[in-house]
Amino acid sequence: LETFVGHQVLRVRTSNEEQVKQLQLLESLEHLQLDFWINPSASAVPVDVRIPAASVQSVKAFLESHGIEYSILIEDLQDVLDQEKQDMARAAQ
Amino acid sequence: RQRGTGFDFGTYHTLEDIYAELDHLASEYSFVEKIQIGQSYEKRPLYVLKFSTGGSNRPAIWLDAGIHSREWVTQASALWIANKIASDYGTDASVTSLLDHMDLFLLPVANPDGFVYTHTSNRMWRKTRSKIPGSVCYGVDPNRNWDAGFGGPGASKNPCSDSYHGPSANSEVEVRSVVDFIKSHGNFKAFLTLHSYSQLLMYPYGYKCTRPADYAELESLGRSAANAIKSLYGTTFQVGPICTTIYMAGGTTIDWTYANGVKYSFSLELRDTGRYAFLLPSSHILPTATETWPALLDIMVHVLEHPY
């Protein structure tokens, strides 16, 4: 079972097309192993991205250096999944 | 016969439990039948609930959920909706009128391999589980695999991508099974597909940014349905064509259905709390399903009242 300890999900809000392009560049950097839940498309649409623990700091630094606004949607993904699993186990009982 | 098996519609379930509940619904209601329309890549059955009160090849409405396996609230909502339709027939005027004139087909788990994989191996999995020849990666995005603008913008040609369109249109047996079923039936008037999340109610096109011929009616109906959603808990849905509402995306389900004559083709992205994305806690299943239902009913009643 794959675990997601330390993975964060960020909600990124772009304010112009240039920032959208920066996110599309980020999307193409395969070594970061980002999982875009909502892909960058237009500045009006927020972007949600799951970031493995090892890439969190790099991605945040990238966003901050380009003045791109973001908030943390999920602080630690594994915590959410553990809670979900507990809920299912409780319901099954 | 005693009603109920203690099935809790407000929690998440395994595929086995969901399929058992389909059996239960089919045994409980005489107008509900479980039919198999194919099997997945890993040989799991693709089950559809058919709601029919009689007649032969009546005009029909299609509803599916879970084509992106990790969006668990959609499969859970579909089950609640199945139970709602079955239990409301004979008591709710709209549902009764609908099923007295039309058939309804509901596919609650459109991607069973992916769904099982989310339970057993990787909760983040969204694609099918087919082996891609020549690649170490598995799976195709089944919402980029339809024969409408296949391979166009908004889909990836990289087999390792979550939006990989697949080697060819209909390469995924899960997609092909639905295509074959819709074509062989030949009388579908509406096609509604449930996704999560981001609170969108979309209609064609996705592969191109031009308005469909039925733009005015689809837009108006979409807005009416969105208002129906809002009426319960105030959840706001954005309405519009896929291309301009989110992004250009080739090979999507409703582009294919619309191109094949199903005028009322809609894709819904269910609620987003702004905290959990598609990992919606189970406490949100019932609110999500109950707020989605009036919108679906609104569309279905419109379809009934506007034959074509």
Peptide bond before residue B205 is cis, with ω within 30 degrees of 0: yes
ipTM of the prediction greater than 0.85, yes or no = yes
B11 closest CB neighbour out of A4, A9, A88: A88
Residue A62 above 90 pLDDT?
yes
Nearest to B150 by CA among B140, B137, B135, B161: B140
Phi/psi of residue B118, nearest 5 degrees: -65, -30
Shortest CA gap A61–chain B (Å): 22
Owner of token pair 């920032």: A19
Chain A residues with CB under 8 Å of B274 CB are: 11, 73
Between A41-45, A81-85, B141-145, the lowest mean confidence (pLDDT) is in A41-45
Number of CB atoms found within 10 A of residue A69's CB: 13
Asked if the Cβ–Cβ distance from B274 to A81 is below 8 Å, we say no
Longest dimension (CA), chain A: 52
Asked if the Cβ–Cβ distance from A84 to B198 is below 8 Å, we say no
pLDDT, chain B, mean: 97
Nearest to A77 by CA among B262, B70, B138: B70
Instruction: Return the pLDDT at B1.
Output: 43
Chain A residues with CB under 8 Å of B275 CB are: 73-74
Chain B residues with CB under 8 Å of A84 CB are: 12, 123, 279, 281-282
Q: How far apart are CA B35 and CA B90, in angstroms?
A: 23
pLDDT digits (tens, 9 = 90+) for A22-55: 999 999 998 999 999 999 988 888 999 999 999 9
Would you call B121 an interface residue with chain A, using a CB distance cutoff of 8 Å?
yes
pLDDT digits (tens, 9 = 90+) for B293-306: 999 999 999 999 99
Residue B82 one-letter amino acid: A
Q: Beginning with the edge strand found earlier in the chain, give each strand of the sheet holding B45-51 in spatial order.
A: B32-39, B45-51, B103-107, B60-65, B188-196, B264-270, B200-203, B238-241
Q: How far apart are CA B44 and CA B113, in angstroms?
A: 7
Q: Chain A interface, mutation test: which of B242, B282, B284, most A Cβ atoms within 10 Å?
A: B282
Report, as an integer, the average pLDDT of B218-242: 98
List alpha helices for chain B, DSSP H: 15-28, 72-88, 93-101, 112-120, 173-185, 215-233, 242-245, 253-259, 285-305
Q: Chain A interface, mutation test: which of B122, B124, B284, most A Cβ atoms within 10 Å?
A: B124
pLDDT digits (tens, 9 = 90+) for B244-271: 999 899 999 999 999 999 999 999 999 9
pLDDT digits (tens, 9 = 90+) for B5-50: 689 999 999 999 999 999 999 999 999 999 999 999 999 999 999 9
Provide, rounded to the nearest whole percent, the portion of chain B with pLDDT above 70.
98
B282 closest CB neighbour out of A36, A37, A87: A87
pLDDT, chain A, mean: 95
Instruction: Return the pLDDT at B2.
Output: 47
Q: For B196, what's the count of Cα atoms within 13 Å in the CB-facing half-sphere? A: 28
Listing DSSP states for B273-286 in one string gives -SSSTT---GGGHH
pLDDT band for position B207 (50/70/90)?
very high
Q: For A82, what's the count of Cα atoms within 13 Å in the CB-facing half-sphere? A: 8
Residues of B designated catalytic: 269
Report, as an integer, the average pLDDT of A3-18: 97
Would you call B157 an interface residue with chain A, using a CB distance cutoff of 8 Å?
no
Instruction: Return the pLDDT at B4.
Output: 59
Residues B204, B173, B167, B123: what is their CA dihedral angle, to the nearest 10 degrees? Answer: 80
pLDDT band for position B109 (50/70/90)?
very high
pLDDT digits (tens, 9 = 90+) for B163-206: 999 999 999 999 999 999 999 999 999 999 999 999 999 999 99
Instruction: Return the pLDDT at B111.
Output: 98
Report, as an integer, the average pLDDT of B51-78: 97
Instruction: Return the pLDDT at A41.
Output: 87
Report, as an integer, the average pLDDT of B204-220: 97
Inter-chain contacts counted by CB atoms under 8 A, chains A and B: 59
Residue A71 above 90 pLDDT?
yes
Q: Beginning with the edge strand found earlier in the chain, give each strand of the sheet holding A69-74 in spatial order.
A: A35-38, A47-51, A8-13, A69-74
Asked if the Cβ–Cβ distance from A74 to B279 is below 8 Å, we say yes
